[in-house]
Structure formats: structure tokens, C-alpha cells
Amino acid sequence: MKYSKFKLGFLIFAFACLIACCKQRKETELPTDFVNLFIGTLDLGNTIPAATAPFGMIACGPDNVFNEITDEYISRSGYSYAKDSIRSFSMTHVSGWGCHGALDIPIMPVTKKILTSPVYNHRAYASKFSHNKEFAEPGYYQVLLDDYNTNVEITAADRSAILRFDYPKGGDASVVFAPTNCANGITGAEINIDVANKRVTGWATSGGFCERDPSKHDYTVFFVAEFSHGIISHGTWENQIKTNNKLHALGDSIAAWITFDNKNGDIIEMRTAISFVSVENAVENLNHELRNKTFNQIKRETSQKWNSLLAKVELESSNLDMKVQAYTALYRNMLHPNIFNDVNGEYRGFNDSVYTMAAGHSKYVNFSTWDTYRTTAYLQGLLVPDRASDMITSLNLDATQGNPAGLTIWGYFNNETWIMTGHQSLPLIANLYAMGAKDIDLEKIKDIMIWTADNKYRNGSDYIQYGYVPDRPGPYNYSVSETIEYSIADYGIAQICLAAGDSANFKRFNLRSESVFNLLNTQTGFLQRKNTQGDWVFPFDKSDDNGFNEGNSAQYTWNIPQHLDKLVEKLGGNERTINLLNDFTNKIVYSGWPINEPYYWPGNEPGFVVPFVYTYAGAPEKTQELVRHVSTKIFKNAPNGLPGDDDLGATSTMNLFFKLGMYPLKPGVAEFMLTGSLFDKVTIKLGNGSRLTILSKGDPFSGPVKGILINNAPYKRCVLDISQIIKSKGDLTIEYIY
């Protein structure tokens, strides 16, 4: 049967809980067998099921969300499990982010007569579909378009993809190109139809991340699409005006179509590639990656790439749901940032000039640093230090090639968006470096970090002058959040200075990293706004989000990962801290947008650190209980299985660390909080060849950890330094006794 493969995948992934009791398992299982691309595609997760290679430039997949009237935040990535129609398949997707963006170069295979203009008409050629005839796995996506009775399959390499369209035999078979229908529209585009060579080329300029205005934070995607069958008719639109047989369109309101000879009912193949430099580079990317390779060869090669990466973490457990969640989280960790250089090394800088990356290295973009420094950076540094080193180099190149923020805040392709508070590429770099990304010019990186911290912090002069960012009027008053994030960034810089032997700057930034405590009102027990005179701003309400970005005082007060010991001390000690935490975690909120709820919100980044404050307050068993509850009761192997935006893998990776029983806290420090693994055995293969093994003796769900062994010796602490196995090849075993 044509769709038997999907049915098998659907049973394994979407209803994994129903087959967990099944005694017969495949003799050979691959890590990709446990990846469910649909986790987080419903409600808040904003994840995507697109076909893509690890860290791939191209992510080709379905778009089914758009509403011209409302903001429709579910799902801003372009796909929602709740929808029943697909409007296009586009070449760029970003997983889990909280704003609309990308979905560049959307195309749609159709069988109906080409009449309606698709220019800014997102549903002109949409088709109904059913999840019963949809399937996705790493590097592959398939769906049946019900309205056209056309099966679509997609697989992808790093910069290119192959799409197969199985149209009904003998009927019309067309592909519509509608560049205006990307996430935020376009400011210009060009389409060229080359009938003789069965090829369509062009480009489109879009932008508008978090602003919906394509003229802001703009970038240009160039593309080539080559087809296996001859083009028998074609044409273009300018706005609503259709012109048959026209080969070229240029402007900000254009589209085009091509129709194939389908009398034999063959599968029509579209080979495509993109570039952010030129059409010529897109052609070179296609030729280098796809030429003389079949669809199945590319699918197999990309699957092998994914399995090679995912196999760096071996998980043993009879709990199928837990393995699916963990491997899916690891997969999401390896989606972003994205390769940006073409196969010839060229890439476009933030100043729009073209540069060439050194041979053997990759240029990366799409750093959502406020999110990813907290979890994904640590794991990428551990598992792929070569790529992580290139990520650090990429950030440094951006700072010297036109990024107005210096080291990026939120880099969207080759533009700075200034989204979110803080300057969190600094702790991100520190975390990548601490966990293994050593192939960098440390002195140069240190200098650019110091320069950014001293000159590029928004409201940075106030932060340095007062020791905090003072309260200010207006709708975007994030003064407390900024102070928190700058303090965290300063701690990361301090660790880089320490590694570089710069003791003076280590002391300076380490001291500056305590600035956050200037806004801790020890009387109330919460972080609070303060004016330029040094007075607390009243009235004070711990659930008020004034002064905070995506949260409130109750949620942010615990977000001081670099100095949790000092936080407990300043709050008055263990007993008072535990009482405050108990009140805070008595209710867990994760539906909607609970920025005014004074309770624990595990689905947003400031809440990631919360459980570990209990350990610093002398109650590690409460940390373990809370971590276990969140990881097993709130995260699920289901489309609605994420409690918030996945934010380029940040939230999924938090859940993965929770399940592994090890969590990184301090920026730039190679240590983990130990909380008890939920797996029978975990083997983590570090990028340098070292191995970290985690064993569970007894039932991890029976209660708190009774004891910890490190390399068979009793270990009394809850924090483990792993810097030695990062610096030199070696093995380390953690055994939890329950």
C-alpha cells in the first residue's frame, strides 16, 4: 500500500504509549526511530515537521497556518497540528520560535485549473489533508493532499532538497510559486522560467521577524528548482493580473506557475537549493549536493547524519514514551543555529557584503541567544565541539562584519533584530567554550566580549553607573530583566577571562555579575524596580510584569543561576528560601501566557532554573521531586507535549537534561547539578572521545536519590565538575542509588 509506511510511523510515534507494552521489537533500532517530529506542533510548542539535515540551511516542509486578520500566534513556525489544510511547502523554517518569520519561497503542487492569483492570497491553492496520511521522520516528510489526490514527499541535504509529486495520472499537474506568501510578505522578488532546461530560478527579499514588516531585518533568499518533466505551459501574475506564457516576473507582488506533461502519471521530481548570496551559488549548491543522487540516496544519507549525531547519547529504558521525548529533544537541539555559507564557502555578512568562510568550517546564523544559552549551548558544546567552535567564530565574524549589536542579541539570518533583553551571546559563548568548543582564538573572543559588554549593552551606561538598570516609564520597561541578564552575561565573560589568564578582567566582571542583587529587596524577598535615586518603586506587586520581559518578579527572582548560593543567603537562609519556593511552586502554570501569574512557569526560560534553588537551600529531594514532576507530567509524547515555545530547542533540551539527571547552571562552568536519571543507563559520547556514563540502581520513580557514586566512589555533593574529561580524553561514571 502507498501509505503503509506512514501508518507504521503513526502507530510508533503518535500513539507510542499504546504500543509500549508490545513485547516484539525490531532487532535493530536506530535513534531516529524514537524521534517524533509532531511533539510540540499543537498549542504552544511552535515546532515543525519539515525535512532538514542537522543544522541545515534548508528546512523544506508544510505551511498550514496563516490568518490575515489575527496575529495567530499558534503556530508562528508555520505549522499547527490543529489545522486541516496545507497552503504551501516552503524552503525555510525555524522551530519553536515565538514570532512569525521565514517560510521563504513557498510552492504548491496543484491539479486544478490555474486561475486565481496567489499574490498575498495564502489559501488560493490550499488543500485539505489528514494526519492519517501524513508522516515525518528526521530528514523526511510525506503527506497526501486530499483536494488534489497528490502525494508529496520531501527529503533534504544541507542546502538543497528533493520534492516528489505523485499527481493523479492524466490530469493537470502544476506547481505554483508564490513568494509573497512567506511568513511576513516580501519587499521584492524575481522569478525566471527556463522551459528548455526545465528550471525555475529567482529570489525573494523578506524580513520582519517579530514586527511583520518585511522591510525590517530583511534578507534575500536565492533559489533554483529543476524538474524531471518537461514544462508544457507556464505564466506569471503581477498582483491579480495573470499573463500566460510569460517567462519573467519582477516586483513586490508577483507569482508564477508551470504545468507538466502528466499523461503517463510518472512521479514528478523537483530538485531545489537555496543560497543567501546568489542564484549561481544556489545552482552550485544543488549540483554539489544532489547531482547524480536519487531521492532515496539523499534520504538515506541525511538519515545517517541524524543517526550519527543522535547516537552520541545512548539511552536504555523500557519506557518508550520517555525515550521518544529524549531523542526528540536531542533532535531539536541539533536543528539550530543554521549553516549559512554555500558549498564554495561564501556567505553574506551583516553589512550585506559577501565573505568566504575558511575551508573546512561553517558559518552559522539564527542565534536566539536569550533562549539557547541556558540549555542547548551546553549540549552542543559537549557533543559537537567542532560545530560549536564554528558557532563562536561565526558570532565573532558578525560582530566585525556589520552587526550593530556587536556580538548578536537575536541574529535572524544576516540581520540583528534586537529581540529580548540582555546580551546573551556572551554566556552562550562561555557555555559552548566550557563544554568543549576550544578551536577558537580565545584572546580575540575575549576582547570582543569585553568590548560588547562595556559598549553595547542597551542601557549599559546606566547599568555600569548605578549597578542596575533604573526603572523608566513606558510600555517596554524591562529594567529588572535587563539587570538580571547583564549580570548573567558578566559572569560568562568572567569565566572566559579566567580561561584566558586575564585576572584583572575576571575580577571586574565577576564582581559585576553580582549587580542583580542591587535589585533584590530582602524585606519582600523579591526582585524589585529601583529608580535612579536608589529608592524602591512602589506599589509593588510580585505578579506585575512591569520591569520584566515575559514574566514577573515572582517568576524572575530565582533566575540568578550564577549565584544561587548568595541568593539563598540574601533571602535569609534555607528555611525562608524554602518557604518562598513552596509558595511559588505550589501551583505550576503553563497554559496561555501566564506573565501575571506569581507561580512557577516551566515553559519559559526564566523558570528553567527554579527547581535547583531547593538544592542550594539544603533540600535536594525537593529539586528531584519537582524536576521529575515537570519532566514526566507536563512534558508529553504528544502534539501538545510542550508547555511553551520550544525556542530553537531550548525547552526540549531542558526536559532532556531533567530526564538525564544532570543540569548545567553556571555560565561558562563545566559542571552539572545532579538530580537523578530517569533512565536505566545513559552513555554520552563527548566530542573529544570521552564517555560519560549514567547508571540507575533501583527504581528512579521510587523516591529521592539515596546515594551517588562517581567512578564507584561515594560522592556527597550535588554538583559535579566534568572539566577534566572535556580537557582530556577519559571516562566518568555516575551511579544513582534509589
Give the other-Cβ count within 10 Å of 252's Cβ: 18
Average pLDDT, rounded, for the chain? 94
pLDDT of 15 above 60: no
Q: How far is CA 720 from CA 242, 700, 708, in A?
A: 66, 19, 11
3-state DSSP call for residue 418? coil
The larger pLDDT score, comparing residue 624 to residue 74, is at 624
| pLDDT computed for residue 180 by the predictor | 97
| 199 in the same domain as 155 | yes
b/e burial code for range 358-393 (CB count within 10 A of at least 16 → b): eeebbbbbbbbbbbbbbbbbbbbbbbbbebbbbbbb
Beta partners for 51? Answer: 60
Exposed, middle or buried by CB within 10 Å (0-12, 13-18, 19+), for 716?
A: exposed
The 10s digit of each residue's pLDDT in 414-424 is 999 999 999 99
The 10s digit of each residue's pLDDT in 427-439 is 999 999 999 999 9
| Dist CA 549 CA 112 (whole Å) | 48
| Dist CA 87 CA 72 (whole Å) | 15
pLDDT of 56 above 80: yes
CB 102 within 8 A of CB 183: yes
| pLDDT computed for residue 7 by the predictor | 40
> Which of 275, 308, 341 is the last residue in one of the domains?
308
pLDDT of 559 above 80: yes
| pLDDT computed for residue 1 by the predictor | 32
| Dist CA 637 CA 457 (whole Å) | 40
* Residues near 357 by beta carbon (within 8 Å), at least 6 away in sequence: 341, 345, 346, 347, 363
| Cis check: omega of the bond before 215, within 30 degrees of 0 | no
| 547 in the same domain as 415 | yes
pLDDT-based confidence at residue 72 (cuts at 50, 70, 90): low
The 10s digit of each residue's pLDDT in 304-320 is 999 999 999 999 999 99
Gap between the terminal Cα atoms of the chain:
48
| 434 in the same domain as 505 | yes
The 10s digit of each residue's pLDDT in 242-267 is 999 999 999 999 999 999 999 889 99
* Conformation bin of residue 543: beta by default, left when phi > 0, alpha when psi is -120 to 50: alpha
Least confident of 25-34, 122-131, 276-285, 518-527: 25-34
| 346 in the same domain as 203 | no
| pLDDT computed for residue 74 by the predictor | 56
The model's pTM is 0.95
Query: How much is the average pLDDT of 443-457?
Result: 98
pLDDT-based confidence at residue 171 (cuts at 50, 70, 90): confident
Nearest residue to 258 (alpha-carbon basis) of 203, 191, 204: 191
Q: State the Rg of the chain over Cα.
A: 26
CB 523 within 8 A of CB 572: no
Query: How much is the average pLDDT of 406-410?
Result: 98
Beta partners for 695? Answer: 681, 735
Q: Can you state the percent helix, strand and coil of the chain, rounding each to 5?
A: 30, 20, 45
pLDDT of 25 above 90: no
**Three cell numbers, residue 295:** 531521492
| 647 in the same domain as 619 | yes
| 550 in the same domain as 463 | yes
| pLDDT computed for residue 69 by the predictor | 52
Least confident of 61-70, 201-210, 303-312, 527-536: 61-70
The 10s digit of each residue's pLDDT in 614-623 is 999 999 999 9
3-state DSSP call for residue 565? helix
CATH code for the domain of 17:
2.70.98.10
pLDDT of 547 above 50: yes
**Three cell numbers, residue 605:** 526560560
DSSP class of 588: B
DSSP 520-534: EETTTTEE--B-TTS
| 385 in the same domain as 295 | no
Query: How much is the average pLDDT of 157-184?
Result: 96
CB 417 within 8 A of CB 405: no
Beta partners for 674? Answer: 662
| pLDDT computed for residue 22 by the predictor | 38
| Dist CA 237 CA 250 (whole Å) | 10
Exposed, middle or buried by CB within 10 Å (0-12, 13-18, 19+), for 86?
A: buried
| 322 in the same domain as 281 | no
| 246 in the same domain as 328 | no
Exposed, middle or buried by CB within 10 Å (0-12, 13-18, 19+), for 184?
A: buried
In the chain, how many domains are there?
2
The 10s digit of each residue's pLDDT in 656-709 is 999 999 999 999 999 999 999 999 999 999 999 999 999 999 999 999 999 999
The 10s digit of each residue's pLDDT in 458-512 is 999 999 999 999 999 988 899 999 999 999 999 999 999 999 999 999 999 999 9
pLDDT-based confidence at residue 76 (cuts at 50, 70, 90): confident
| pLDDT computed for residue 19 by the predictor | 38
**Three cell numbers, residue 699:** 527504581
CATH code for the domain of 484:
3.30.2080.10
| Dist CA 562 CA 428 (whole Å) | 14
pLDDT of 26 above 90: no
Nearest residue to 515 (alpha-carbon basis) of 578, 466, 458: 466
| Dist CA 463 CA 530 (whole Å) | 12
| 329 in the same domain as 265 | no
| 367 in the same domain as 304 | no
Which residue segment(s) compose the domain that 298 sits in? 4-308
| Dist CA 459 CA 671 (whole Å) | 32
Query: How much is the average pLDDT of 405-422?
Result: 97
| Dist CA 78 CA 153 (whole Å) | 18
pLDDT-based confidence at residue 23 (cuts at 50, 70, 90): very low
> Which of 242, 277, 308 is the last residue in one of the domains?
308
Please state the length of the chain. 738
| 11 in the same domain as 75 | yes
